[in-house]
Amino acid sequence: MNKKIILMLGIILNCATALPALSDCTISATGVAFGNYDVFSSSPVDMDGSVTYNCTSATPITIDLSQGTNGSYINRKLKKDASNELNYNLYLDAGRTQIWGDLSGSTTHHTNPTPTTGIDITIPIFGRIPALQNASVGSYTDSITATINF
Q: Which has the higher per-residue pLDDT, 9 or 45?
A: 45
Which of helix, strand or coil describes residue 7? strand
Laid out side by side, the sheet with 76-81 consists of 25-30, 45-55, 121-129, 84-91, 76-81
- Identify the domain containing residue 19 by its residue range: 3-149
Q: What is the pLDDT of residue 24?
A: 87
Q: Give the pLDDT confidence of 50-106 residue by residue, as tens digits.
A: 999 999 999 999 999 999 999 999 989 999 999 999 999 999 999 999 999 999 999
Label residue 21 by pLDDT band (50, 70, 90). very low
Q: How far is CA 8 from CA 14, 29, 59, 119, in A?
A: 9, 7, 24, 22
Q: Give the pLDDT confidence of 93-122 residue by residue, as tens digits.
A: 999 999 999 999 999 999 999 999 999 999
Task: Give the total number of structural domains in the chain.
Answer: 1
Q: What is the pLDDT of residue 45?
A: 98
3-state helix, strand, coil in the chain (%, to 5): 0, 45, 55
The CATH code of the domain that includes 114 is: 2.60.40.1090
